[in-house]
Amino acid sequence: MHYLLRKVGFYVIALWAALTVNFIIPRLMPGDPVSLLIAKLGQRGPVTPEARASIEALLGTDTDQPLLAQYIDYLGNLAVGDLGQSVAYFPAPVTSIIGQTLPWTIGLIGLATVISFLLGIGLGTIAGWKRGSWLDNLIPVTTMFQSVPYFWLALILLFAFGSRWQVFPLNGGYDIYDTVPGWNAEFIGSVLYYGTLPALSIIVSSVGGWMLGMRNMMVSTLSEDYLLTAEAKGLRPGRMMRTYAARNAILPSISGFAISLGFVVAGSIVTETVFSYPGIGSALLEAVGSNDYALMQGIFLVITLSVLGANLLVDLLYSVIDPRTRART
Amino acid sequence: MALTTHAAEPVGGTGGLPAGSAAQRTRRRRLGLPPMTAKLATGLIISGAILLFGLLGPFVVQDPTRVDDIGLTGPSSAHLMGTTQTGQDVLAQLAYATRGSLTIGAIVGVLTLLLSGFFGVVGAYAGGWVDEVFSLFTNIMLVIPGLPLVIVISSYVPDKSLWLVALVLSLTGWAGSARVLRGYTLSLRNRDYVLASRVAGEKRWRILTVEILPNLIPLLASQMVFAVIFAILGEAGLSYLGLGASGSISWGTMLYYAQNGLALRLGAWWWFVPPGLLLALFGAALSLINFSIDEIINPKLRNQTRAARRSWLMSRKQLETAKEATL
């Protein structure tokens, strides 16, 4: 229980820090984002006093309101889910844009991360179990892919399979001409087809890390005495590998998985730029490009929240699967 | 895991030659240098070559910004690596880009070292509430996602200098290595010899600088190498998104312009392959150097490879039994 409280306490503080960073950055930076944003909004249509007040609360204002009052206003707006209005996608509110783009990101990058993790863990288990096999010798090759910068690897894949051989589309999330978004077979098929290459690029660049980590943990777990006992008892090799060795060797990988799950939303920025995918990363860049500060802050907040949430979830999960963490504190 | 290392540069012997005699090997070890393995030699040679290219290249190549009306052309004798869409020489750009990327790497490496050293080592050594606060701060910085923060900060500043980009990258990148340093310092400060010097009445700063810091040098070196890799990749990513320092040339900006100049669709591989390849090679070379530094920090990793055992002149049968025994 003590462990649980400590963990939750840490994340509450981290959440507060993230909100505060989000509050301070626009106010610390040179320039006047508020009047810039309001001027831009004014070009698109009339700015209601309420919209103006919400933007001021989010991004800071040059009126002589004390910082503390601004801070309380800001937190109040967040509590009711008001993130302001977007300029880039006028007149949509920021929350609805995040709602539209987030599923794409989680679907593509989340799924690719899970597949990569499962694949890497599976291959790593076998490579560690059969040391010196061809699979084990493959590991240096996959780790080489890791020192290749991700976005360059993605560019090369896009060049090879999108431009040179035209197996996959060059950009986009689905066929915008021939399909209608919704739960129909053509649209889902199109989404899968358009998502294959981006997903592949993520898997190729990250599977090596999972594989190497799992393989090394397998090797050190295999030298434990209890596995010798298991062998002496005459257990089947498959059972030893899965329920005796892999189950313990997977623990560090799971905490690594937590971190990478959290960075799904954050890491999406580069992937989505390369493949022009309609996710939250593209929206962030769009916001940066058009000085849409409200949208930018909103997306940053969502990204931070998702990282914190994923970390908290796995910390809690970890204390269930590895009782030693609870005992240590 | 006692370290006999004393103040010495852990990276890169001046020699760069594979160790031949046993005497040479022991001398290297006494100096605290990693044993010259094939890995280390490869890493040093590749990173050294790229470093030289970045240092000297800009003096010999043409002006990287000079526009020519020949447009996008493949490699030829006039332009060894072809030209960009506006007829700029790719080789010249590559030389300046290498210099730009390495500069960022060096600045961020040093800044990260200072930040992580301060929050990791000083916090852990001071203990008590200082350690609590520092470690809480480190953990918070660790969970706040770096790249989005960098993007948000850099978007507020329209005219970014190289220094600003470097500063932002170091501010978002020090937390990981601070945590590693903290863990190691915590174990060092409770060693018997540190306790003994405290009993002997040494001053606190003297214990920190004379007794603890020298033992941290290999770890600091490896963390700095990580920081350099992180910085170069981070800057490349940022520039690739079009958010790098204004007016600078780096591997990332080259890729940005290549992407925007439709190099992919036009099949201009000579434009987008070299910068990425150099990035990958430099990253791989630094990782190889890091493996060798790790062997100083963790002697368990040392002499565990087949090649090392072969150098002890063991028979194949002995090798097999040794392998069974250690793994």
pLDDT above 50 (res A94): yes
Q: Which one of A151, A306, A328 would you mutate to disrupt binding with B, by most B Cβ within 10 Å of its Cβ?
A: A151
**Closest by CA position to A302, among listed A292, A310, A312:** A310
Identity of the residue in A29, A158, A284 whose CB atom sits nearest the CB atom of B148: A284
Q: Which one of A152, A157, A284 would you mutate to disrupt binding with B, by most B Cβ within 10 Å of its Cβ?
A: A152
Query: What's the pLDDT tens digit per position in B146-186?
Result: 788 888 887 777 777 888 888 888 888 888 888 888 888 88
- A85 beta partners: A93
Identity of the residue in A14, A131, A266 whose CB atom sits nearest the CB atom of B140: A14
The token pair at B201 is 């009445």
Residues from chain A contacting residue B287 (CB–CB below 8 Å): 147
- A93 beta partners: A85
Give mean pLDDT, residues A198-221: 84
- Check B265 against A170: CB less than 8 A apart: yes
Give mean pLDDT, residues A102-128: 88
Cβ neighbours of residue B196 closer than 8 Å, sequence gap 6 or more: none
Packing angle between helix B269-297 and helix B38-60, nearest 10 degrees?
A: 140
Distance from CA of A236 to the nearest CA of B (A): 20
Q: What is the mean pLDDT of chain A?
A: 79
- Check B236 against A149: CB less than 8 A apart: yes
- Check A148 against B272: CB less than 8 A apart: no
Give mean pLDDT, residues A271-285: 85
CB contact at 8 A, B39 and B288: yes
The token pair at A204 is 């190729």
Query: CA-CA-CA-CA torsion for A144, A145, A150, A154, nearest 10 degrees?
Result: 140
- Check A262 against B143: CB less than 8 A apart: yes
Residue B110: its pLDDT value, please?
93
Q: Could you tell me the pTM of the whole model? A: 0.77
Query: What's the pLDDT tens digit per position in B220-268?
Result: 888 888 889 888 888 888 888 888 887 788 888 888 888 887 777 777 7
Distance from CA of B197 to the nearest CA of A (A): 30
Query: What's the pLDDT tens digit per position in B28-81?
Result: 655 666 667 777 888 889 889 999 988 888 887 777 777 776 767 767 776 777
**Closest by CA position to B194, among listed A95, A280, B184:** B184
Please state, in angstroms and rounded to a whole number, the distance separating the CA atoms of residues A317 and B276.
39
Distance from CA of A182 to the nearest CA of B (A): 31
Identity of the residue in B236, B269, B327 whose CB atom sits nearest the CB atom of A223: B327
- Check B276 against A155: CB less than 8 A apart: yes
pLDDT above 50 (res A313): yes
pLDDT above 80 (res A227): yes
CB contact at 8 A, A232 and A302: no
- Check B276 against A285: CB less than 8 A apart: no
The residue in chain A having the minimum alpha-carbon distance to the alpha carbon of residue B151 is: A288
Hey, is the C-beta of B136 within 8 angstroms of any chain A C-beta?
yes
Residues from chain B contacting residue A329 (CB–CB below 8 Å): none
pLDDT classification of B317: cutoffs 50, 70, 90: low
Task: Measure Cα distances from A160 to A146, B156, B271 in Å.
Answer: 19, 36, 15
Query: What's the pLDDT tens digit per position in B96-129?
Result: 889 889 999 999 999 999 999 888 888 888 878 8
In this structure, the number of other CB atoms found within 10 A of the CB of residue B252 comes to: 33
Hey, is the C-beta of B272 within 8 angstroms of any chain A C-beta?
yes
Distance from CA of B10 to the nearest CA of A (A): 22
- Check A14 against B143: CB less than 8 A apart: yes
Helices (H), B10-158: 22-30, 38-60, 90-116, 123-126, 128-143, 146-156
- Check A262 against B139: CB less than 8 A apart: no
Hey, is the C-beta of B156 within 8 angstroms of any chain A C-beta?
yes
Domain segments of chain B as ranges: 36-326
Q: Which one of B155, B251, B279 would you mutate to disrupt binding with A, by most A Cβ within 10 Å of its Cβ?
A: B155
Residue B324: its pLDDT value, please?
66
pLDDT classification of A264: cutoffs 50, 70, 90: confident
- B89 beta partners: B83
Distance from CA of A144 to the nearest CA of B (A): 7
The residue in chain B having the minimum alpha-carbon distance to the alpha carbon of residue A299 is: B148
Identity of the residue in B144, B147, B279 whose CB atom sits nearest the CB atom of A149: B279
Cβ neighbours of residue B49 closer than 8 Å, sequence gap 6 or more: none
- Check A303 against B148: CB less than 8 A apart: yes
Residues from chain B contacting residue A300 (CB–CB below 8 Å): 148-149, 152
Query: What's the pLDDT tens digit per position in B288-307?
Result: 888 777 776 666 555 444 44
**Pick the residue with more confidence: A224 or B6?**
A224
Q: For the domain bounded by B36-326, which CATH number is listed?
A: 1.10.3720.10
Residues from chain A contacting residue B146 (CB–CB below 8 Å): 266
CB contact at 8 A, A120 and A214: yes
- Check B149 against A223: CB less than 8 A apart: no
Distance from CA of B105 to the nearest CA of A (A): 15
Say how many CB pairs under 8 Å bridge A and B: 121
